[in-house]
């Protein structure tokens, strides 16, 4: 009987996992709860995969408490507090303060049922300024929820209002077709000019104010018209941090980018739906858009290409704001919720004139080996400083790899010479022929490939030649040992070859279109899968049979979502995530069992040339043509940690209706996240 009950639970768990997968793109909250429920019923492989996918979603917190659309968002300068203003169903508005770390409410500011909040903005970490429809500007102490100052500006029925970045000026558009600027300290009128739009916004330096319908730029000192950019509909405006670009969104299903100095259009982003909310990241490299399709999208402004989609709102997106450090994106919607999303930001480890072409972590994560025209160096991952310079590598090294015990570093050189270095001193222990290198899993051998098509296996202790594999035409541009030491994979010309590492015999020539000298190789941790890049595609083969597996259900297949070509490839230690990177300037994390995209790391200004993972899989290094090396946290939890993250992010349990639909046959079972 117990066996039958356990089998039944496993079946229910698998069915819930399937349901979770079906909802992941359409209702991620429900998908996450179903994945959590599946794991609680029975921790099947399917449930674990489903839960990991849910835990890797970028949602950090779902904030509830508004009873109408959320219209305004603002972060405190330290990023610890978020203010949100919403319209209630009874036509009142509330202003709420949230702890961005925990997602818990801090204060609800008192409000007049007949008064509407038109603008919110922090003047310092503890002071929030709120402009109301009756022309009153109040400054609130965010620690106590009490007003500090109240100033009557007597603005006639404002359509929209905005505070300057320093909090000293209030701009408001009125029903009388006039835009007025007020001294927010004294209440004196500064200037006015014609304008009747529903959007008004200050530039970051406070010297320019933008208004909509038509979109115009005015000088804040005297109200002088600087430029009329467009007469098209403008539902949202956003200045770039340097003030040189104004983004304009509306019903045209695009975002127009305008040069504020020349008044000319500098670019267009094509969106799928009308845009009602915009926000620039603090570094100005990313634009977030939101609108009627319920999704938040981020865009790379250098390429005009979309970076990521944040799905979860059940109605249109109405407000957006980045935190000051750019690591959090807040969105508000017509579904009455505020959502906080994690935005991965890689820490710059190095930035120099030298182009880094290869990276590798030491065993303890504290050291990263880098190769550039200046040579090979071991760097402190905390500071980026050089710990050790590897002798003889300047202008010669091309690839780098640590031995399994971390005591030896191998470099392959442009000069056709491979070197084994003492990791502590950087001194050369021995040299032999090789341009690309790979240590065997026992550390006792190292394989090298050369321009003459030879693959050689060397004894690492004495530098003696152990074996030379049959020579092939073309230069050997990649070599990789399988973790179990049974296989050796190479790239020669346009061929990926799988060798028996013990006998030196060819097992298979693996078929893949697009293989070239830039192809990268990676074995799964269990050695059952070999992956290789080919242009913008990742091919995977079963190492036992050499067959290309095209079904994601088997954990293998092709990934074709990259634009351009791939230059980086690595499996995480648990084999469940594949990392790719390349000319699209990003690193992508893929769920291996399902082929789903988990996360995209963006921040580089040019192609990513190389990647490296720590041995625990928690940190990713990326080296780019932009002459920087960045470190990224890779955190895909499993088990209870994943369950806790999902429940914390969604912030609710299954509704009565959802329980009736999905848990009808589990009477008495505890719904996931119900008490959180």
> Are 247 and 358 members of one domain?
no
> Are 536 and 393 members of one domain?
yes
Q: Does residue 556 carry a pLDDT above 70?
A: no
Measured CA to CA in angstroms, residue 634 lies from 344, 577, 614 at distances of 9, 10, 10
> Which pLDDT tens digit goes with each residue over 75-133?
999 999 999 988 775 555 678 999 999 999 987 787 666 667 788 889 888 889 888 87
Percent of the chain with pLDDT over 90: 55
Identify the domain containing residue 324 by its residue range.
237-342
**389 three-state secondary structure:** strand
> Are 24 and 52 members of one domain?
yes
Average pLDDT over residues 449-460: 92
Domain of residue 329, CATH code: 2.130.10.10
Average pLDDT over residues 53-65: 92
Last residue of a domain, one of 285, 311, 342: 342
Asked whether residue 153 is domain-assigned, the answer is: no
Which pLDDT score is estimated for 116? 74
Measured CA to CA in angstroms, residue 507 lies from 63, 410, 437, 447, 503 at distances of 56, 27, 20, 17, 10
Which pLDDT score is estimated for 484? 96
Asked whether residue 140 is domain-assigned, the answer is: no
Percent of the chain with pLDDT over 70: 94
DSSP state of 60: E
Under 8 Å between Cβ of 298 and 288: yes
Q: Which of 210, 269, 221 is nearest to 243 (CA)?
A: 210
> Are 558 and 657 members of one domain?
no
pTM for the whole structure = 0.88
**Residue 282 main-chain phi, psi, to 5 deg:** -60, -30
Place of tokens 């104004």: 246
Asked whether residue 319 is domain-assigned, the answer is: yes
Alpha-carbon gap, residue 107 to 130, rounded angstroms: 14
Which pLDDT band holds residue 553 (cuts at 50, 70, 90)?
very low
Domain count, the chain: 3
> Are 298 and 386 members of one domain?
no
Which pLDDT band holds residue 667 (cuts at 50, 70, 90)?
low
Under 8 Å between Cβ of 482 and 525: no
> Are 279 and 379 members of one domain?
no
Last residue of a domain, one of 310, 342, 374: 342
> Are 354 and 430 members of one domain?
yes
> Are 453 and 314 members of one domain?
no
**Residue 5 main-chain phi, psi, to 5 deg:** -65, -40
Q: Which residue has the higher pLDDT, 187 or 206?
A: 206
> Which pLDDT tens digit goes with each residue over 377-386?
999 999 999 9
Asked whether residue 497 is domain-assigned, the answer is: yes
> Are 625 and 643 members of one domain?
no
Q: Does residue 36 carry a pLDDT above 90?
A: yes
Alpha-carbon gap, residue 62 to 312, rounded angstroms: 9
Asked whether residue 78 is domain-assigned, the answer is: no
> Are 566 and 439 members of one domain?
yes
Percent helix, strand and coil across the chain, each to the nearest 5? 10, 45, 45
Average pLDDT over residues 625-642: 90
With 0-12 / 13-18 / 19 or more C-beta atoms within 10 angstroms meaning exposed / middle / buried, residue 405 is: exposed
> Are 527 and 473 members of one domain?
yes
Asked whether residue 498 is domain-assigned, the answer is: yes
Last residue of a domain, one of 304, 324, 342: 342
> Which pLDDT tens digit goes with each residue over 140-197?
888 888 888 888 876 666 778 898 998 889 888 877 788 989 888 888 888 988 876 7
Which pLDDT band holds residue 490 (cuts at 50, 70, 90)?
very high
> Which pLDDT tens digit goes with each residue over 1-25?
466 788 888 898 999 999 998 998 8
> Are 499 and 378 members of one domain?
yes
Average pLDDT over residues 321-326: 96
Under 8 Å between Cβ of 476 and 449: yes
Measured CA to CA in angstroms, residue 569 lies from 85, 343, 506, 637 at distances of 44, 22, 23, 21
Mean pLDDT, the chain, integer: 88
């Amino acid at each position: 009987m117990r066996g039958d009950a356990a089998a039944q639970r496993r079946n229910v768990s698998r069915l819930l996992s399937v349901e979770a997968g079906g909802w992941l793109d359409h209702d991620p909250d429900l998908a996450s709860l179903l994945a959590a429920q599946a794991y609680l019923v029975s921790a099947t492989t399917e449930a674990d995969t489903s839960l990991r996918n849910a835990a890797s979603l970028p949602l950090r917190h779902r904030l509830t408490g508004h009873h109408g659309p959320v219209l305004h968002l603002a972060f405190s300068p330290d990023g610890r507090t978020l203010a949100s203003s919403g319209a209630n169903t009874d036509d009142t508005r509330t202003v709420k303060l949230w702890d961005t770390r925990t997602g818990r409410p801090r204060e609800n500011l008192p409000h007049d049922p007949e008064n509407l909040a038109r603008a919110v903005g922090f003047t310092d970490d503890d002071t929030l300024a709120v402009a109301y429809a009756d022309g009153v500007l109040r400054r609130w102490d965010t620690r106590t929820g009490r007003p500090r100052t109240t100033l009557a500006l007597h603005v006639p029925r404002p359509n929209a209002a905005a505070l300057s970045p320093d909090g000293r000026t209030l701009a408001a558009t009125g029903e009388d077709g006039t835009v007025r600027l007020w001294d927010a300290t004294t209440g004196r009128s500064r200037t006015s000019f014609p304008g009747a739009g529903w959007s008004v916004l200050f530039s970051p330096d406070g010297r320019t104010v933008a208004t909509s319908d038509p979109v115009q730029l005015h000088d804040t000192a005297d109200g002088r018209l600087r430029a009329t950019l467009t007469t098209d509909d403008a539902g949202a405006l956003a200045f770039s941090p340097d003030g040189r670009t104004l983004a304009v969104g509306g019903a045209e299903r695009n975002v127009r980018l305008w040069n504020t100095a020349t008044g000319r259009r500098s670019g267009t982003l094509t969106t799928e739906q009308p845009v009602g909310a915009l926000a620039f990241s603090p570094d100005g490299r990313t634009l977030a858009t939101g609108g009627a399709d319920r999704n938040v999208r981020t865009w790379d402004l250098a390429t005009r290409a979309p970076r990521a989609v944040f799905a979860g709102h059940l109605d249109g997106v109405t407000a957006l704001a980045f935190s000051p450090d750019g690591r959090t994106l807040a969105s508000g919607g017509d579904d009455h919720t505020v959502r906080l999303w994690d935005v991965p930001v890689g820490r710059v480890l190095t930035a120099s004139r030298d182009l880094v072409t290869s990276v590798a972590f030491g065993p303890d994560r504290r050291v990263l080996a880098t190769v550039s025209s200046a040579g090979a160096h071991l760097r402190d991952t905390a500071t980026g400083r050089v710990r050790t310079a590897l002798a003889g590598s300047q202008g010669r090294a091309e690839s780098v790899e640590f031995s399994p015990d971390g005591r030896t570093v191998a470099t392959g050189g442009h000069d056709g010479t491979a070197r084994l270095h003492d990791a502590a001193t950087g001194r050369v222990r021995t040299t032999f022929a090789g341009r690309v290198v790979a240590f065997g899993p026992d550390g006792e051998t190292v394989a090298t490939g050369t321009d003459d098509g030879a693959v050689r296996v060397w004894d690492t202790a004495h530098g003696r030649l152990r074996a030379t594999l049959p020579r092939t035409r073309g230069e050997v541009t990649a070599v990789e040992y399988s973790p179990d030491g049974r296989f050796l994979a190479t790239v020669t010309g346009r061929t990926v070859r799988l060798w028996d590492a013990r006998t030196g015999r060819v097992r298979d020539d693996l078929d893949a279109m697009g293989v070239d000298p830039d192809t990268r190789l990676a074995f799964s941790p269990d050695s059952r899968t070999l992956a290789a890049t080919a242009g913008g595609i990742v091919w995977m083969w079963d190492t036992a049979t050499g067959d290309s597996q095209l079904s994601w259900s088997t954990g293998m297949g092709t990934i074709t979502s990259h634009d351009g070509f791939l230059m980086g490839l690595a499996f995480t230690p648990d084999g469940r995530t594949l990392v790719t990177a390349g000319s699209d300037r990003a690193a992508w994390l893929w769920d291996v069992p399902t082929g789903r995209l988990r996360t995209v790391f963006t921040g580089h200004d040019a192609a990513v040339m190389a990647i490296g993972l720590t041995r625990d899989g928690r940190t990713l290094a990326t080296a780019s043509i932009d002459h920087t090396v960045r470190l990224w946290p890779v955190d895909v939890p499993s088990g209870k940690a994943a369950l806790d993250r999902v429940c914390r992010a969604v912030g609710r349990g299954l509704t009565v209706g959802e329980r009736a639909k999905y848990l009808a046959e589990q009477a008495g079972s505890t719904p996931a996240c119900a008490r959180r």
